[in-house]
Amino acid sequence: MTRSIALSIVALLAVLFIAPLIGSTHIDFTRAFTGQAPDYEILFYARLPRILLAMLAGAALAVTGVLFQCLLRDPLAEPYTLGVSSGASVGAVVAITLGFGASSAASLAGAAAVLTLVLGIAWEGRRLSSFTLLLAGVTMNSMCFAIILFLHNLASLSQSFAISRWLMGGIDAVEYSTLGWLAAAVVPVCILIITRARQWNLMAVGEDWAASRGVPTNLYITLGYVAGAILTGLVTALTGPIGFIGLIVPHALRLRLGADHRALLPCSCLLGAAFLALCDTLARTVLAPTEIPVGVITALCGGPFFIWLLRSKRRSLWL
Amino acid sequence: MSFHAKDLGFNYGLAEATFALPSTGLVAVVGPNGAGKSTLISILAGLRRSYTGSCLYDGKEIRDWRRHDFARQVAFLPQFLRVEFPFTAEQVVFMGRTPHSNGWYDSPEDRTEVDRALEITDADAFRNRDFRSLSGGERQRVILASALAQEPKVLLLDEPATFLDLQHQVAMYRLLATLAGQLLVVAVTHDLNLALRYAHHVLVLDQGRLAAVGAAHAVLTAELITRVFQVQATVNAGWLKVEYDA
């Protein structure tokens, strides 16, 4: 457990130090660190904030993925498949159309609204149906997309450009102050969730199982969903919808680490950060100087992975 | 005295149940389908807190117990456990230690208790296997080990033998009878013969009401079985014979 967490930290640091070196223009480090233009600006105002944003977003999305999978006892749950990311997008697009820019409050409200709706639809008395949950998520995704298209049509040309750019799910260089408040929200929430790993283990088996072993289940259900909505909402407001991070990272890790959340949660958090930063480095270098939105890369990796999971889940269910 | 219920009820599932259970011994809860057996056991387990009437454990209303403290006293085994994630059998047993240690790491004491529990239930051989790959009988032993790792004073079981073959059913009840020397074991069961053979006390439920409660041989009479289960039966030398073409 300690060893895998240590390895994840090493991997994250490696990405943090190597990713800024890679890019369409070569930069000279002595020049950058002595504050000479343009190397200084490229390193500290273009690449580094972008990598840090990717890391915060990756960590938040991976932790949310583990949380949703645990609370719903469904390996296919994550913010994107449940429609929560789309809800956050609708919030953000509404805010853009009204002229506020992609505001976090609007994304947060959108994420929370869709999460409540999807859970409400899939609720069958005392339990949730995995099947209904995923179908509700898919339906929410298309409905949200329809609302976004409608708003897109109403929007002015500049707003319309802002919306479509944002919707591609991309990571841009942001101000350090923005990074600061995002970190101030994401880091404590992730730490709070990780420290309760023992309880999430029990919740991942079942609510009655957890309750009869001393876990106040209602408190943890609320904590999990509120934390998931906050993490998804805040990140989506800044990056647009980025899918499948919460699916790929935890599942790949479960194959190696097993299901114990004391290893799974911290490693997902750290490697989710490293993975999205890596995807974003690919996004800005593969077709340089053209950039591919990182959401395209994660969806192209994540889509096939999801289908593979769906098939292996079906096998374990019926065979 | 462990549990003390007075006019205990829950929605439409259970009504006006008044009984007291001893602090050790094996208690069988029997009754036809829908009689309220599972409802009763989950109230005792602290999982249904909106019951009416009163149900005390150790002199204190169950719904007023902190879950954490209650879990150090009372362990509950579900009828069936479906696990979606690759937990090993050992990790499932370690989960029973949660009410005793809230730290991040497992303590040496946790390890000792888990080893002991795995030994009692004879589940040590497959402790490192994925829980999902175990057979029904192996799973049940792991779940029992997890409950024993809680170091409980009361063990509540919802149909512990449903998914077991005959040999394992008998082995399970022998083990429960041994454990009942030091603990209170309350088991919901459909098997009246196992109840007659191993249980000290029997609670009979019928349509949400307590039909009878007392020592197994005194309660499980042919007359009561005919009345509650609607079958002709004779009780002979501690074994029950049922004539199916009643």
B220-237, pLDDT tens digit by residue? 888 888 889 888 888 876
Q: How many CB atoms lie within 10 A of CB B20?
A: 12
A1 or B16: which leads in pLDDT:
B16
- Residue A210: name the closest of A198, A226, A195, A222 by CA: A198
Q: Which of B85, B97, B158 should we substitute to test contact with A (largest number of A Cβ atoms within 10 Å)? A: B85
Residue A117 to residue A131: CA distance in whole angstroms: 15
- Tell me whether residues B87 and A260 touch, CB distance under 8 A: yes
Digit-coded pLDDT (tens) for B66-112 = 999 999 999 999 888 889 899 999 999 999 999 997 678 899 999 99
Question: Does a structural domain hold residue B230?
Answer: no
Percent of chain A with pLDDT over 90: 42
CB pairs under 8 A between A and B: 77
> Tokens 């300690």 map to which residue?
A2
> Tokens 């056991």 map to which residue?
B41
CATH number at B112 reads 3.40.50.300
Report whether A276 contacts A298 (CB < 8 A): yes
- pLDDT reading at B131 higher than 60: yes
Question: Does a structural domain hold residue B243?
Answer: no
Report whether B21 contacts B186 (CB < 8 A): yes
User: What 3-state DSSP class applies to A126?
Assistant: coil
The ipTM estimated for the assembled molecules is 0.91
pLDDT band at A127 (very low <50, low <70, confident <90, very high): low
- pLDDT reading at A124 higher than 80: no
- Arithmetic mean of pLDDT, B41-63: 94
Digit-coded pLDDT (tens) for A248-282 = 899 889 988 999 999 999 999 999 999 999 999 99
Helix (H) or strand (E) holding A301: helix A294-318
- Residue B145: name the closest of B162, B165, B125 by CA: B125
Point out which residues pair with B185 in neighbouring strands.
Answer: B26, B155
- Tell me whether residues B76 and A212 touch, CB distance under 8 A: yes
- Tell me whether residues A206 and B82 touch, CB distance under 8 A: yes
| Structural domain for B201, as ranges | 3-217
pLDDT given for residue A29 in this prediction: 78
- Tell me whether residues A215 and B67 touch, CB distance under 8 A: yes
Half-sphere exposure of A253 (CA within 13 A, CB side): 31
Residues of A in contact with B82 (CB under 8 A): 206
Q: How many CB atoms lie within 10 A of CB B11?
A: 13
Secondary structure (H, E, C), chain B:
CCEEEEEEEECCCEEEEEEECCCCEEEEEECCCCCCHHHHHHHHCCCCCCCEEEEEECCEEHHHCCHHHHHCCEEEECCCCCCCCCCEHHHHHHHHHCCCCCCCCCCHHHHHHHHHHHHHCCCHHHCCCEHHHCCHHHHHHHHHHHHHCCCCCEEEEECCCCCCCHHHHHHHHHHHHHHCCCCEEEEECCCHHHHHHHCCEEEEEECCEEEEEEEHHHHCCHHHHHHHHCCEEEEECCEEEEECCC
The structure's pTM equals 0.90
Residue A92 to residue A222: CA distance in whole angstroms: 24
- Portion 142-201 of B in contact with A at CB < 8 A: 150
- pLDDT reading at A129 higher than 80: no
Domains contained in chain A, CATH given: 2-318 (1.10.3470.10)
Residues of B in contact with A251 (CB under 8 A): none
pLDDT band at A102 (very low <50, low <70, confident <90, very high): low
For residue A293, is the peptide bond before it cis, meaning its omega torsion is within 30 degrees of 0?
no
Question: Does a structural domain hold residue B112?
Answer: yes
The shortest CB-CB distance from A205 to any of B76, B81, B102 is to B81
- Portion 65-124 of B in contact with A at CB < 8 A: 67-72, 74-76, 78, 81-88, 91-92, 95-96, 98-99, 102, 104
Report whether A44 contacts A32 (CB < 8 A): yes
pLDDT band at A62 (very low <50, low <70, confident <90, very high): very high
Tell me the shortest Cα–Cα distance from B189 to chain A, in angstroms.
Answer: 20
| Residue B41 in tokens | 């056991």
- Arithmetic mean of pLDDT, A96-103: 78
Q: Which of A5, A76, A212 should we substitute to test contact with B (largest number of B Cβ atoms within 10 Å)? A: A212
Q: How many CB atoms lie within 10 A of CB A168?
A: 15
pLDDT given for residue B79 in this prediction: 82
Question: Does a structural domain hold residue B206?
Answer: yes
Question: Is B33 touching A (CB cutoff 8 A)?
Answer: no
Domain count, chain B: 1
pLDDT given for residue A2 in this prediction: 87
Residues of A in contact with B90 (CB under 8 A): none
User: What 3-state DSSP class applies to A124?
Assistant: strand
> Tokens 């105002």 map to which residue?
A45
- Residue A9: name the closest of A224, A274, A277 by CA: A274
Question: Is A194 touching B (CB cutoff 8 A)?
Answer: no
